A and B are shown apart, each in its own frame.
Chain A
Amino acid sequence: MSNKIPNRQAICETLMEHAKNDRDIVALCSDSRGSASMTPFFDAFPEQSVEVGIAEQDLVGIAAGLASCGKKPYAFSPASFLSTRSYEQCKVDVAYSNTNVKLIGISGGVSYGALGMSHHSAQDIAAMAAIPNMRVYLPSDRHQTKKLMEALLQDQKGAYIRVGRNTVEDVYTEENCPFEMNRATVLREGTDVLLVACGETVRPALEAAELLAGEGISCTVLDMYCVKPLDVETLLKYASSAKLIVTVEEHAPTGGLGSMVAQQIGEHCPRFVKNLSLPDAPVITGTSREVFNYYGLTAGGIAKSIKELLK
């Protein structure tokens, strides 16, 4: 793998660039600064850093209080805990009270593969997206993560951002990372299949499209990093002419990207939608890569599923 920088590190680097000139940027961790790659921030900006200990409810509540006084808090905690243990604080103190808290779910999905279901966040998209006034973003690589963070630094509303723990292959380059806030990025245009992915499934979806192209199957690939608000306009633009729509996500089958895409397709241009996801069951033990492979969320697995569906 050529890239050595995980998305979480890109978040830290972006915040450090801006924190120098903006003393209102505050990072909060729940004994998670190492996992969040935020140790450099805490070392460089101790007066803009808050350690709350292993207390996720407190993490989000304190962040909301800071935000209500004009601070720009970034609250880091493993996605599994942030999206469940502090769910009510996310709902009431952030979304309902409309505070500018950026909730950073680190080690998302099955990043902690072998640690078991307690550490997996296969429900976080569904949980967070169900909250009114909560946005949900899953950037696909370090370059897009940086662009997303820079956009989020400019707004005044709460959001949930999920990133994985592991280094992932780049989708973009530093020079070529087209980004428009709340608009999906069109990675490839094709006539047969529409592939919609988010987060760490974007790269395998793109590679699957390349494999399929060699077999005469042409795919559009959308990087739907903005799961909520979903970019419905771009989705429908490509869905209306596709023979098959396939979503790929590191999430349970219910309530995630696949559900949201199917809901829009069902309402606006009904056709078959296949959701490739984790199962509605405890995820098998293994490394993140092994788990992806087991459930067919790799380039080969995605391509195989599509070929079978097109038969």
Chain B
Amino acid sequence: MDNRELTIHSWDLRQDILDIVMAGGGGHIGGDMSVLAPLLLLYKRHLCVTPETVDDPNRDRFVLSKGHSMEAYYAVLCDCGFLELEDVKARFNKLGSPYIGHPHNVLPGIEMNSGSLGHGLPICVGMALAGKMDKRDYRVYTIMGDGELAEGSVWEAAMAASKFGLDNLCAVIDRNRLQISGSTEEVMPEDPLDRRWAAFGWNVLSVDGTSIDALDVAFETAKTVKGRPTVIVSNSVKGYGSPVMENKAGWHHKVPTAAEYEQIKADFLRGKEAAQHVQ
């Protein structure tokens, strides 16, 4: 699947996410939509792991640090054959279901539990360190939310990754500029984000987080950087794909009404048609 096909396909997954949220009556749809592009691209092209290699010591590792974007993760894991979409939709959020609102490592393909923010990067530092110790060439990826960066543990790990020269580690920040209470810059300012990470010794790549092409270049570039970790600032849009949700903090974890569902579904179809017309 090339970048154009992947972009078109991403609209199908947006619909899957919407259906998962509706089926479970919950979720974090705003962040699901902003994180989908880098998440899908990772699994489809850059992350070397398949349902057959989930226990291979040489597999690439991924931790969804912004664990509340779980519906997007379910859609991607289903699309890549780790899980069954119909089973996820049938049991998401239900009593006793393994399909809960955050990553749960009883499920195939999920390395570590998350949910509480600021945990993913320290864990990935440990995974990347283990790779260096064992002289394995796997890579380690995590995706964090931008609101998550207020957690001090993120910066503890940022220092450590730099100290240990973890060039096998690539962090993605889903920079949608909104968190549950409103603008990240009002809640706890993060700009100049690029300079902050650079000051911690990271290679920083800032790209359009809605563009599969731009993200693809960034992931490829990160693989070539030696001696330091890379952070990709994925400048995204919360609720991306439908004007009903886009750039609205209230859609952090809102469940669409029936009317909103129909509107969002129509918007996704239009998005897909537009992507199909791009040559």
Contacts and interface: CB of A to CB of B under 8 A. Distances in A.
**Do A and B originate from a single complex?**
yes
B126 A68 contact: yes
B181 interface: no
A66 B140 CA distance: 12
Contact of A92 (B113, B124, B130): B113
Interface stretch (A53-61, A138-146, A186-194, A271-279): A53-61
A96 B114 CA distance: 9
Given A62-B122, A92-B116, A97-B112, A69 B130 contact: yes
A178 interface: no
Contact of B127 (A50, A60, A69, A89): A69
A66 B129 contact: yes
A64 interface: yes
Contacts, number: 104
B111 interface: yes
Nearest to A91: B116
B57 interface: yes
A61 B152 CA distance: 13
Contacts of B130: 65-66, 68-71
Interface in B75-121: 105, 111-116, 118-119, 121
A65 B65 CA distance: 13
Interface string B148-182: 00001100110110000000000000000000000
Contacts of A69: 57, 61, 126-127, 130-131, 134
B103 to A, nearest CB: 9
A64 B159 contact: no
Contact of B119 (A23, A63, A70, A92): A92
A52 interface: yes
Contacts of A50: 129
Contacts of B133: 23, 26, 47-48, 71
Contacts of A26: 133
A92 B126 contact: no
A240 interface: no
A60 B116 CA distance: 14
A66 B122 contact: no
B29 interface: no
B125 A62 contact: yes
A88 interface: yes
B57 A70 contact: yes
B269 interface: no
Nearest to A95: B113
Given A66-B129, A71-B133, A55 B116 contact: no
A61 B131 contact: no
Nearest to A65: B126
Contacts of A285: none
Given A52-B156, A71-B133, A65 B115 contact: no
A70 B131 CA distance: 10
A62 B123 contact: yes
Contacts of A65: 112, 122-130
- Identify the 8 closest CB pairs spanning chains A and B, nearest first: A65-B126, A61-B122, A69-B130, A58-B156, A55-B156, A62-B126, A65-B123, A57-B153
Given A58-B160, A65-B130, A93-B113, 20 more contacts: A26-B133, A53-B156, A55-B160, A57-B152, A57-B156, A62-B123, A62-B157, A62-B160, A64-B112, A64-B122, A65-B129, A68-B126, A69-B57, A69-B130, A88-B116, A92-B116, A92-B119, A93-B122, A96-B113, A99-B112
15 contacts: A26-B133, A55-B156, A57-B122, A61-B126, A62-B160, A66-B126, A66-B129, A68-B112, A68-B127, A69-B126, A71-B126, A73-B126, A92-B119, A93-B123, A97-B105
